[in-house]
Amino acid sequence: MAYFLCFLVLGISTGTFAARSISRTSRGGNFQPGQIIFQEEFDNFNKNLWKYEINMNGGGNNEFQIYDRYNNNAYVRNGILFIRPTLTLYERYGGNYEKLYNGYLSLNGCTDEGGQNGQGCSRQGQYPNILPPVSSVRLRTKGTFSFRYGRVEVRARMPSGDWVWPAIWLLPEDWKYGGWPASGEIDIVESRGNRNLYLNGQNIGSELVGSTLHFGPRFPLNGHQYAHGEKNTARGQGFDRDFHIFEVIWTDNMIQFKIDRQVIKTINPPNGGFFELGRFPSSERNVWQGAENFRMAPFDQNFHFILNCAVGGDYFPPNSTPARPWGDRTAFLDFMNSKDQWYNTWNGEDAAMQIDYIRVYAI
């Protein structure tokens, strides 16, 4: 009875008990649902939060860019973060084609070797196999901020520029279940910069954005097709024309993507979790068996943010209209040789992904 009375007094003195959030962050702390747990308004370029990735490994998609600490490729102005690609020919070599075609490049502070033949950190150009023709930036919060479960809200404007590939996404902090895609990937938004790019009659350029989960027991098994949503604007009103709101609601039993407050995809994994959702062969080992939250694994761990603008690569289908201006064997050189076809579409800051803010709320 004494315990009961004490409980009542506590309830009277403090009001109703607030629910505790299931969200967690690498910074610790307890939260209530709706409480903001991460806020980046880009009042300045916080280099203690955003760390540069430095490599030229092609991102696993045969992309064309070098990621480095380029001031022209990432900067903050008037509360907006700009990330844009430029040409290595001008950014690094002052217009000297010989250095691009046959020079040697080694990246100081390289973060990831990877890439074709281990050429992610250094490589020798030897015509027609030239050095990567594009310079850009990829930022991440790995080691500075990660979280599990929450509502992410991003206000951003996609770039306009042929063969530009912007992305705002999340990767696992610790890769608990193994290499990609076993530990998962959450793509908040990605797009293509071409204003006029079509596949089967659909504009797949700047009038289309997509949000996707990537997951699978091992490479190349990937169930992304069961966890993908997308949205087209009206004709002539692409996502490069203005800012839009991109959201992810990530709970301990589902993940939902929204664009401008409209739901484009809800992923409710069945009792068998993402292994069942991905329809993987029963002969495959379920790497998520025994997970802390089996139904949501691999999306039951902390993830960190990545912001980048890539160029070229396999995200651009070979059967689009117009066709991509490169082949497989000498893609870098093909891209540079076709510069007159696309370079005039990289119109200053229109070719930049622009981010107004990123906020994460507890759920």
Residue 38 located in a structural domain? no
Residues 77-131 have pLDDT tens digits of: 999 999 999 999 999 999 999 999 999 999 999 999 888 778 999 999 999 999 9
What CATH code is carried by the domain that includes residue 311?
Answer: 2.60.120.200
pLDDT over threshold 50, residue 6: no
pLDDT band at residue 5 using 50, 70 and 90 as cut-offs: very low
DSSP string, 54-105: -B-SGGGTT--EEE---TTTEEEETTEEEE--EEHHHHTTTT-HHHHHH-EE
**Rounded Cα gap, residues 107 and 127, in angstroms:** 20
- Which residues, listed in sequence order, are joined to residue 171 by a DSSP beta bridge? 304
Residue 18, pLDDT score: 67
User: CA–CA separation, 153 vs 358, rounded Å?
Assistant: 6
Which stretch of DSSP H or E encloses residue 357? strand 353-361
Contact status, residue 256 vs residue 211, Cβ threshold 8 Å: no
Predicted pLDDT at 116: 74
> Greater confidence, 4 or 160?
160
135 falls within a domain: yes
Print the domain residue range for 132: 43-361
For residue 308, tell me if it sits in a domain: yes
Cα 124 to Cα 81, 174, 334: the distances in Å are 33, 33, 18
Which helix (H) or strand (E) segment holds residue 190: the answer is strand 185-191
> Whole-structure pTM over 0.85, yes or no?
yes
Please indicate, yes or no, if residue 250 is contained in any of the structural domains: yes
Name the percent of the chain in helix, strand, coil, to the closest 5: 15, 30, 55
| pLDDT grade for 13, boundaries at 50, 70 and 90 | very low
Burial of residue 286 (CB within 10 Å: 0-12, 13-18, 19+) is middle
Mean pLDDT of the chain: 94
Report how many domains make up the chain.
1
Q: Flag whether 24 is in a domain.
A: no
Q: For residues 360 and 247, what is the distance between their CA atoms, to the nearest angstrom?
A: 10
Within 10 angstroms of residue 28's Cβ, the number of other Cβ atoms is 6
Rounded Cα gap, residues 182 and 298, in angstroms: 7
Give the angle subtended at the CA of 162 by the CAs of 196 and 221, to the nearest 5°. Answer: 95
Instruction: Report if residue 12 sits inside a domain.
Output: no
Query: Could you tell me if residue 116 is inside a domain?
Result: yes
Does residue 10 surpass a pLDDT of 60? no
Helix, strand or coil, per DSSP, at residue 14: helix
| SS3 state at 300 | coil
Per-residue pLDDT reduced to its tens digit, 268-320: 999 999 999 999 999 999 999 999 999 999 999 999 999 999 999 999 999 99
Question: Residue 4: inside a domain, yes or no?
Answer: no
Q: Which of 152, 220, 190 is nearest to 63 (CA)?
A: 190
Provide the token pair at 311.
Answer: 């160029």
